Amino acid sequence: MSLTIELQQLGPDIAVITLTGRLVLSGDCRQLEHLAKKMLTADAHDLIFDLSRLTGIDCAGIGVLAECASAVAARGGTLCIVGARGIVQDVLAITHLNLCVECFPTVEEAVERLLLIPSSVAMSVPREVNSRPRRI
């Protein structure tokens, strides 16, 4: 299964990148890295990678996530990983990437952290313009 990438803009500063399939050595890794950096220069300050639909990851995929985390940090932003489970969660732990970036169970929890508001208030915050995911 190849990698499918969906983008969702949440407000002016937060972008969610949802990955479906396998993040392994291929052109998909380069495409993801290019896309994430493009989002940073155009629309977003903080990135959330939703890995809840990711079924596999290798060292190239870990490298792309680490490179994206570095690019986000260089801009003063935060990269969050959400929804990692199974083998993906194991690989994040083995490589200690889960210690270098903030990890959350859900996108909503990551957004709450990025907005730095209490959870009772965050649930009532409306989604901003362009909140529908788009597949590329």
Q: Which helix (H) or strand (E) holds 70?
A: helix 59-74
Rounded distance between C-alpha atoms, residue 92 and residue 124, angstroms: 32
When pLDDT is cut at 50, 70 and 90, the band that residue 114 belongs to is very high
Q: How far apart are CA 8 and CA 18, in angstroms?
A: 8
The domains of the chain, with CATH numbers, are 4-122 (3.30.750.24)
Kind and range of the H or E run holding 4: strand 4-10
Residues 5, 21: Cα–Cα separation, whole Å: 9
Q: Per-residue pLDDT averaged across 84-94, rounded?
A: 97
Rounded-to-integer distance, Cα 16 and Cα 3, Å: 16
CB atoms within 10 A of CB 27: 9
Residue 89 token pair: 């969660």
85/126 Cα distance (integer angstroms): 28
pLDDT in tens, 36-77: 888 887 767 899 999 999 999 999 999 999 999 999 999 889
Whole-model pTM: value is: 0.82
